């Protein structure tokens, strides 16, 4: 289960970095808006509207990242399931998946894992499936060899 914890930690670190980044961006944008408020010309007004749009975007990104962190907190790395569930490592005949959030490819102990969301197209294909299940994705065939 050490591997599951390592993969979960990678996801949590990624989400924490995103949260920190968006908080910094929001703080910077708020400071810029306050600076523009001190200058009351027409250029400042159009600048503020762009800053307000950027602020709203970053607030939405922050909200999404915090939801992802909450979602990751539901993962129990010591739980073993016969079927593919949140937190499963799925080994196929050619690719390894970790079911958590959409992150992409990572390498742990010289082995590649694709960290995917259960809501992703491939996640939906393998959700609740067990060892021996065969599926096709993007024209390539796979077979689930192990679920950890």
Tens digit of pLDDT at every position of the chain (148 positions)? 799 999 999 999 999 999 999 999 999 999 998 888 766 555 545 678 899 999 999 999 999 999 999 999 999 999 889 999 999 999 999 999 999 999 999 999 999 999 999 999 999 999 999 999 999 999 999 999 999 9
- Domain of residue 142: give its range: 89-147
Between CA 143 and CA 53 the distance in angstroms is 46
Split into its structural domains, the chain has a count of: 2
- In this structure, is residue 80 part of a structural domain? no
- In this structure, is residue 82 part of a structural domain? no
Global pTM value = 0.89
- CA atoms in the 13 A half-sphere facing the CB of 144: 24
- Is there a single domain that holds both residue 103 and residue 50? no
- Is there a single domain that holds both residue 68 and residue 110? no
């Amino acid at each position: 289960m050490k591997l599951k914890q390592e993969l979960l930690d990678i996801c949590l670190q990624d989400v924490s970095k995103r949260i920190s980044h968006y908080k910094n961006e929001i703080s910077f944008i708020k400071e810029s808006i306050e600076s523009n408020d001190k200058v009351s010309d027409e250029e400042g007004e159009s600048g503020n509207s762009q800053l307000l749009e950027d602020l709203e975007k970053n607030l939405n990104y922050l909200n999404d990242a915090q939801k992802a962190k909450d979602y990751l907190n539901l993962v129990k790395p010591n739980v073993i399931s016969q079927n593919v569930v949140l937190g499963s490592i799925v080994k196929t005949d050619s690719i390894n998946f970790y079911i958590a959030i959409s992150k992409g490819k990572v390498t742990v102990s010289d082995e590649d894992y694709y960290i995917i969301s259960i809501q992703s197209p491939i996640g939906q294909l393998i959700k609740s499936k067990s060892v021996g299940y065969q599926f096709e994705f993007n024209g390539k065939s796979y077979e689930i060899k192990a679920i950890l």
